[in-house]
Structure 1
């Protein structure tokens, strides 16, 4: 059984590039896989490995400047949910595109999972799901507002277009692990909203802590790894990804006539050209033969590996 650790921490990193090589080296040296993002505002990511490997990476991160208070959430996986280890440099560890948003200055009031049901059941509370539309489709809290956003960048515009709907309401927000709410609640405070709350630890902590019989969660929670979805008790759900559009699919979705393994599903059938579909079929044929990547994908991964090795040497 492998440990999966989801983490984020907002803290100033004046030179994220200087942290990249040593972090990648400690992770790869302990057989840990996943993705970690480094930006001037901090670190974010999900990794998987043995208990010793995860502990080694977490100890390294906690020793970084400003990261002694790092918190993370753990679940388990029977097989490795990531193909490789990536440590990437980004402008933001979760992209909102709002330069004035600063979670280290102020955020909404944290609400523990045990207290969340009472809050969102109050008649003067509006509950907003800050995740993307494909995540909301497979599960959300009863009565939550779905902004229908394709990416987190769309959230500020959605709020400004809909803010009048929530006049006089207290706002309760949630996301997968909590990181998007750090920014979205700071954003709402900046927009003049007085009473803003968010679910501490996100959906994953709620599903871990709250018994299923007491839960207001409906469906599954999308996660960004090969497990695809998790349910109550952080048990792996039934979903797989469409390898054309990367949307989560149920077993029933895969029985529909529009579904072709690696090529299409009912949600993306009209989104790609015939040339795209031909390329997807060739990629799937390669996968069926045990080849990991198409040639363009392989070249991209080789280039990324070269860049990682340069980062190792420069560190």
Structure 2
């Protein structure tokens, strides 16, 4: 019987994964359903997946399960069967298989119990998650999206929208899903009889968002089945026009999978067309931002000259500078006083002078 959590150094696990010769599939899945004892469910699932060499992140809560994993191709069917048989509600659930992937995104299995599989900030006891909007597959999406009384709403974070989105989709500008829900209701409060299509990466956020919109009095709410991942696969298989442009941001080592060749974003330092997300190489920063190849070379993969300087100091000096510094998740945003935006404006002034 395996230990029910990882005890091996992350770097060692990563090297083991990179040394594998068998291709892996990267798969995402989710299901909203009631789990009476999430911890027991989690432990049983861990034992099943451990033996199949499943890597990735899976969250379990009373409201359901949400996972992004990779699995050796020869174990894929066994993994799918193990998931399908772990609860009656999971039998036959949709698997979103990555469209642009080398299978090297994960190297350890992290299976965690959470209060919710999607943090939403909803504390209304009358909210019914089972009453969701209508699913749209690719062909139905293309048809409904082309109608003039349809509003398309992106329920992802601003940095996801920046590198790729559906044609004519509106952004709900926020860093968190919990902030987006009331914001979307407020933005569309005068459009309650319009067709509202909601979408996200794999379907989990827009499904809950569609239920929230119905709960708040919207009448014609739809959501893209399987999100961008399933839409892109579906559209390409059927030879349909692909209405999503650019890159689909994903929360693994890839930080994005390309859907079309369109480059919608710009390097956050110099403004050159670019949609490559990266994390600042300075261990005292790790800002998530977009950086072109030229700026990556110029700044050693850092987000600014200040971070580059700190990154190139001896390790003991770096640790001393980081001591006591709060270093949570940092994301480039559109705020005028964001430090990187100031660096970018200064760079442009120097360039244009």
TM-score by length of 2: 0.69
Unmatched runs of 5 consecutive residues or more in structure 2: 1-22, 262-273, 317-321, 323-353
Q: How do residues 46-85 of structure 1 correspond to structure 2 at under 5 angstroms? A: 46-65=68-87, 66-75=89-98, 77-85=101-109
RMSD in angstroms over aligned alpha carbons?
3.2
Match of 1:242 in 2: 279
Deviation at 1:32, TM superposition (A): 1.5
- Find out whether 1:94 has 2:118 as its counterpart: yes
With over 3 angstroms needed to count, the CA separation of the structure-2 counterparts of 1:284 and 1:32, relative to structure 1, is farther
Unmatched runs of 5 consecutive residues or more in structure 1: 287-293, 295-315
Task: Name which structure has the greater RCO, CA cutoff 8 Å, separation 6+.
Answer: 1
Q: Which of 22, 28, 32 is matched with 1:6 structurally? A: 28
With over 3 angstroms needed to count, the CA separation of the structure-2 counterparts of 1:119 and 1:48, relative to structure 1, is same
With over 3 angstroms needed to count, the CA separation of the structure-2 counterparts of 1:280 and 1:123, relative to structure 1, is farther
Paired residues, what number? 275
TM-score by length of 1: 0.77
With over 3 angstroms needed to count, the CA separation of the structure-2 counterparts of 1:255 and 1:23, relative to structure 1, is same
With over 3 angstroms needed to count, the CA separation of the structure-2 counterparts of 1:246 and 1:54, relative to structure 1, is farther
Deviation at 1:79, TM superposition (A): 4.5
Q: How do residues 90-239 of structure 1 correspond to structure 2 at under 5 angstroms? A: 90-100=114-124, 101-103=127-129, 105-211=130-236, 214-232=241-259, 239=276
Q: Which structure has the larger Rg over C-alpha atoms?
A: 2
Deviation at 1:278, TM superposition (A): 9.0
With over 3 angstroms needed to count, the CA separation of the structure-2 counterparts of 1:117 and 1:280, relative to structure 1, is farther
Deviation at 1:82, TM superposition (A): 1.1
Match of 2:349 in 1: none
- Find out whether 1:281 has 2:295 as its counterpart: no
The secondary structure found in structure 1 opposite 2:95 is: strand
With over 3 angstroms needed to count, the CA separation of the structure-2 counterparts of 1:284 and 1:130, relative to structure 1, is farther
Greater Cα offset, 48-57 or 223-232: 48-57
Query: Is the 8 Å Cα contact of residues 134 and 247 (structure 1) preserved in structure 2?
Result: no
